[in-house]
A and B are shown apart, each in its own frame.
Chain A
Amino acid sequence: MSVVEVQLEGVTKRFGNVVAVNDLTLKIKDKEFMVLLGPSGCGKTTTLRLIAGLEKVTKGRIFFKDEVVDDGETIFIPPQKRNVSMVFQSYALFPHMNVFENIAFPARIKKLPNREVKKRVYELADLLRIKDLLNRKPHELSGGQQQRVALARALMIEPSVLLLDEPLANLDAKLRVYMRAELKRIQKEFSCTTVYVTHDQIEAMSMADRITVLNMGKLQQVGTPDELYDKPSNLFVAGFIGSPPMNIIECTLVGTKYLDFGSFKLKIPEDWAEVLYREELVFGIRPQDILVSKSKRDGAVNFYVYVSEPLGDRIILTLVKDDMMIKALADKSTRVNMREEVWVIFNLEKAHIFDKKTGKLII
């Protein structure tokens, strides 16, 4: 298969007054599994449809490798000629065809010889474990089966780009976990450039080579799952990635040594002081990086237990102090009662500082 990278250059898409995608510049590498992640209505589907050619850009350009497929003015390659495959959020299986014909559909359009089509449909059905379903009509399938049929159809001809729009959204939790792994394996096997849309950050983290985070049509950050987790470039990404989400606490810098949280102060590492150019800051720390103990320790701050939610192996603790509320992950063995006083140590090496005004990451 030929090398295909997809490149978006300053792409804007408007629907009347709604700006669905706002000045998006993005490069999806060849064979990459790229995940588009963001809250509902942030423009993920629109981006995908722009790549597929189902929408025309208002401004900006889209490239497939070196070829411009849409430049917002004169050039527009229609979806029929882009050689992409797409799995819609609703699967869009043709209700009048059985599973076999649904899967074979793209090959039929390309007029491939019947023998070849049959062989390939059986291969795919085998791979996706839907061999027994080939004679059924779509309305006789469960959600998960429909999803696999849609996927098989998308893989029927080797597409330049595979576009998947929340394909797992309608599945039950168990099937979703199974399909997550399966999809990732299949993508590697077929090694085609893939754009995968989801609003589920766990899905994104577990499957992606790289993740693009969108919010309100604007690009927030692009990077590998680790980069996004460890170095979220702004408050939005920080709050969106990770579960339970990162604690975001406003604070001010006092002199060069302390962060003032109102009810308590924290001493900061020396090397921080050099980069902190502002007094109004936001302190971010993941629940995993908060150490909770029942006994008083050096440098620890006292909080009170508000709620504790056991997860099985760990416990999410919601802690309060005055009007501040944080979440912490504690060991299962940490037995605490409501309103009990606990002592908290922040692992400052893993903590982040953001500029309160711009929301940008400083440390």
Chain B
Amino acid sequence: MSDVLKKISEPTLRVVGYVVLVVMCMYILTPLLWLLLTAFDPEGGPYLKLPKSITLDNFVMLFIGKPIKGRAGAAHPFYMNVWLKNSFFIASVVLVIIIITASMAAYALSRLDFTGKSLLMTFILLIGFMPSMAKILPLFKLCLMFGFIDNLFGVAVVIASSLLPTQIWILKGFFDSIPRELEEQAWVCGCGYLSTLMRVVLPVAGPGIAVIALLSFLGAWGSFTIPLILIRSEDLYPVSLGIASVFIHNPGEIGLAVDYGPLCALSIVYALPSLAIYYLTRKYLMQIKVGKMEVR
């Protein structure tokens, strides 16, 4: 390998690099290109083609909730406004819960030295390793006890708990990279522990917070299984369940009898908030500090 690479001159390598890059980008973008085109196509189907005319009907249909006259439209009603509202509620509660609990826990894990710390870290990572499908019934029973069935807040709490381990790990990496002297300086100046966290650690760990905000928003915004288990009534559906309710008739047959125009429009609307959050946090994404797990 090394000999081969050595013989390849820089320009050749560059050309090969660009070719691979183009192939990769095609792999990534072609499916999405279809999504974009079909959303504006009055007669789109499950294949890539340039629309003959461009329409916004598909988007309009999402929000007025019923098929537009004179158009073969979705057979099912849409409640896009409601779904979006529910998804937003879930995602923002998850965001708040995760930022608070993960930053406190990660801070303690980063700053405390005690025997068994690495064990605790491993435990936190492994605690969610039982497949969520296998946990459906216990989770359901548990949530019944807490009154979390058909309760958006409850759904958010459960989603947060499933996203928490990774976020704690990532954030701990950020905290580990902040010199301890900064906090000790704050203590000496009279700051309590909570106010040190708020005034010094969190602002300095800003990139870390941005990263976990993005990751947990994406996780909550896209979550499907947990709402599926915990939400019964249709007016509490988040977008993910809404899509399924409209477009999945039977599992394994998603290709059939789907109204592609509205589906693609819906997907695009669904993806916009995620893109917005990405846009806000993009600067920090490459700064994830997985740190060393080296926990003394």
Contacts and interface: CB of A to CB of B under 8 A. Distances in A.
Query: Does chain A touch chain B in the assembled complex, meaning CB atoms less than 8 Å apart?
Result: yes
B204 A95 contact: yes
B130 interface: no
Interface in B171-197: 179, 181-182, 184-192, 195
Interface string A84-114: 1110101010111000000001100110000
B188 A86 contact: yes
B189 A54 contact: no
Interface string B8-29: 0000000000000000000000
A79 interface: yes
Contacts of A82: 188
Counting contact residues on chain A (CB < 8 A from B), the size range is 20 to 34
B143 interface: no
Contact of B179 (A79, A90, A153): A90
B200 interface: yes
A90 B181 contact: yes
A94 B192 CA distance: 16
Contacts of A106: 189-190
A54 B196 CA distance: 14
B206 interface: yes
Given A79-B184, A92-B184, A94-B204, A105 B179 contact: no
Contacts of A94: 182, 185, 200, 203-204
Nearest to A89: B181
A180 B219 CA distance: 56
B185 A109 contact: no
A105 B189 contact: yes
A83 B189 CA distance: 8
Contacts of A310: none
A52 to B, nearest CB: 6
Contact of B203 (A85, A88, A96): A96
B204 A54 contact: no
A88 B191 contact: no
Interface string B146-182: 0000000000000000000000000000000001011
Contacts of B203: 94, 96
Contact of B185 (A81, A92, A110): A92
Nearest to B187: A79
Contacts of B185: 86, 88, 92, 94
Name which of A88, A92, A157 has the most chain B CB atoms within 10 A of its CB: A92
Interface of B: 179, 181-182, 184-192, 195, 200, 203-204, 206
19 contacts: A52-B184, A54-B188, A78-B187, A80-B188, A81-B190, A82-B188, A83-B190, A86-B188, A92-B182, A92-B185, A94-B204, A95-B204, A96-B204, A106-B190, A109-B186, A109-B190, A109-B191, A109-B195, A110-B190
